[in-house]
Structure 1
Amino acid sequence: MLRTVLTAALALLAAPAFANDSVAELGTGGLILSRSDAVAMESEDLFISPEKVTVDYVFRNNTDKDVSAIVAFPMPDIEGDPNEMPAIPEAQSDNFLGFEVTIDGVDAKPQLEQKAFALGIDITADLKAQNVPLYPFGDAAKAALAKLPKAVAEDWENRGIIIEDTADDGSGMQTTYAPFWQLRSTYWWRSTFPANKAVHVSHRYKPSVGGTSSVSFYYEGKFQGQYGTYKTRYCMDDAFENAVRKAAKENPDGYPKYFESRIAYILTTGGNWASGSIGNFKLTIDKGNAKNLVSFCGDNVRKVGPTTFELTAKDFYPEHDIDILLLEPSDNGGNGG
């Protein structure tokens, strides 16, 4: 998994974090229904950890007629920029999050819709005409670009579809063409919601976990850098900040010996069903290791296990997305919180 490689790489770095040692997370959410006037969401059980995201839904058609609808799972957009590689769990696959779904316990086979864009212009047909895969970060796309006719490559470079990328491959500096297009991917399927019945839909995937090589909001003995942004985004409280201060004091260099991991879950796109709210909502966040520090926004959050935190609500309306900050000890030490 890419995350394993990322974790090992970040653990080797100990300087204050800047843009060139940070990997961006891709915000991902849940399911969207094409028809929402007849189908209500009775419950949603959402579990988020660095290793997996699982969501269990109970939908109910409260009318006297069966309802047919398209159910979609929008994958996060990917920008094909060799200088801004995001965190991708399945780096060689169109299904780069390892998405799976079941309906009433039976595996579903959703269709994958993909489009490629450059400067907002649909260039899907251009790529297919040259047998270039739409997924920009796979080895197959790079191999296909290497075979482009010179005239096509020059045209694509002028149109912002590809760019030249110069790097040392072990035999000296080499210049190749790299993808620069944007990929939009959506899994979707047709589903029938029987009259006056509940339908159980479950899906899971591997989250895109962003990372930074050290704590980007505390260095030189004080909170600074990204502190203001992080304070708002992750609701860092006194206990969390005190743990960071303590870790910094325990390090002779004065820096907290942690690296950051970040997960973004888009919850607000999910409010598209009959009532607009979720009858029973449950969120469980697992920080992965008891020594990790975790911070996220939420009301009435309870710690229910050594690494797990829980939030429950009735008639819940998703007004805010979920952003999770994890600080993981870079030396396998540190104190949990």
Structure 2
Amino acid sequence: MKRVSAFLGAAALMMSSALANDTSAVLTTGGLEFVNNAQVVMESEDLYISRDEIRVTYVFRNDSDEDQDLLVAFPMPDIVPDHFSPVAFPTGPADNLFEFKTMFNGEPVEATLHEYAYAAGVDRTKLLQKLNLPIVPISQEAIDAVDALDDETAAELLHLGMAMPDEFDAGEGWEKHHWPNWTYRATYTWEAHFPAGERVTVEHSYKPSVGGTVGVSFLAEPYEDWDPAAEYKQKYCTDDAFLNAVRNTLKNPDEPYSAPFFENWISYILTTGGNWAGGGIEKFRLVIDKGEPENLVSFCGEGVKKIGPTTFEMVKEDFWPREELNILILDRHDEEY
């Protein structure tokens, strides 16, 4: 696929085919499984993404001559705890961490939340339940509970990659603590009725999980087995125009971390959209809002145009989900622009 870049004002943009979608699903004895549906088409999707909110509106069309009653699923991006980085995790209540809201044909829908805990690629949800540990690893309840575990249980979690040790001296001698280290995975589901030959509208809104760093990391030279510039180019499609825009702000040209920005990362699950009839979206519209005019943004795609001081749009027809969407927003923090 051809990759196209555009340097628009204070933002550098590159995008590749990507979209965000509901999917159909079934509940099995092994948990939630996403499945294909050959009767219901995703006619359109209108997706808005910012650091503060994600909103999406779908129009589905049942092309069959029979009503379809489906379990619809909306998977959320994983939450991987990082207790030492400035990650803006969702702060909703324990039973709706993302403050997820759904409307079906204009009426509120009560979605069911399915939660899982993974460590080293293994589902450890039942172990957390056995130990009576909160499943959301970034919650203060989980942090306190893991730190209060007895030595034997803490050692078990360390062995399984579910806890991370932390030792420090705060002035009163060395202390040893443990932090939750499992990945939180969540999917919302609800039952939906798709009348034969008719269209229905589904709307979602929720608070995203926004990762980040203090300073800019991708201008650094490669070291050991990590090349930050190459990784960011692959993940966010950062091009020369974007990199030069950042370099031009360096307070010290010899200090790659001196650019006056904080990194913000947003991920959105896209590929589950291929589970609807036809495998794609007849009309797809994406709007990315970088927050402030002086901020920079980079993500992967094509055909992007600026539609406002902080917003950028991509519109596609017969759009096929191929990969997930990753967005890099550089939040400018100095007072001299």
Higher RCO by CA contacts (8 Å cutoff, separation 6 or greater): 2
Q: Please give the residue correspondences for 1:1-337 in structure 2 after superposition, counting only pairs within 5 Å.
A: 29-34=20-25, 35-79=36-80, 82=83, 87-90=88-91, 93-145=94-146, 148=149, 152-167=153-168, 173-218=174-219, 226-248=228-250, 255-334=258-337
How many pairs align? 304
Question: Residue 4 of structure 1 corresponds to which residue in structure 2?
Answer: none
Work out the CA distance in 2 between the residues paired with 1:212 and 1:144: 27
Work out the CA distance in 2 between the residues paired with 1:56 and 1:305.
20
Deviation at 1:310, TM superposition (A): 0.9
Given that residues 167 and 174 in structure 1 are in contact (C-alpha distance below 8 angstroms), is that contact kept between their aligned partners in structure 2? yes
2:261 and 2:290 map into 1 onto residues whose CA distance is 14
Q: Which of 83-92 and 113-122 deviates more?
A: 83-92
Q: CA deviation at 1:311?
A: 0.9
Alpha carbons 1:285, 1:309 under 8 Å: kept: yes
Distance 1:166 1:250 in 2: 34
Post-superposition Cα deviations, 1:138-170, rounded to whole Å, max 9, x if no partner, equal: 122233345546654455455544454334678
Name structure 2 gaps, 5 residues minimum. 1-18, 26-35
SS in 2 for 1:243: helix
Task: Report if aligned partners of 1:44, 1:280 keep a CA contact under 8 Å in 2.
Answer: yes
Give the conservation status (yes or no) of the 8 Å contact 2:68–2:196.
yes
CA distance, structure 1, for counterparts of residue 139 and residue 289 of structure 2:
30
Matched residue type, 1:307: T
User: Do the aligned residues in 2 keep the contact of 1:77 with 1:184 (CA within 8 Å)?
Assistant: yes
Taking structure 2 as the reference length, the TM-score comes to: 0.78
Identify unmatched segments of 5+ residues in structure 1.
1-27
Question: Does the residue aligned with 2:99 lie in a helix, a strand or coil?
Answer: coil
CA contact (8 A) 2:76 2:269 kept: no
Question: Do 2:247 and 2:253's aligned partners in 1 also have CA atoms closer than 8 Å?
Answer: no
Deviates more, 1:314-323 or 1:148-157: 148-157
Residues 67, 168 of structure 1: CA spacing in aligned structure 2 closer, same or farther, 3 A cutoff? farther
Shift of 1:203: 0.7
| 1:333–1:250 CA distance, 2 compared to 1 (3 A) | farther
CA distance in structure 2 between the aligned counterparts of 1:237 and 1:45, rounded to whole angstroms: 27
Over the aligned positions, Cα root-mean-square deviation in angstroms equals: 3.1
Report if the CA contact (8 A) 2:47-2:285 is conserved: yes
Q: TM-score, normalised by structure 1?
A: 0.78
Q: Is the 8 A contact 1:92 1:137 kept in 2?
A: no
Q: Which moved more, 1:303-312 or 1:243-252?
A: 243-252
Matched residue, 1:19:
none
Shift of 1:202: 0.8
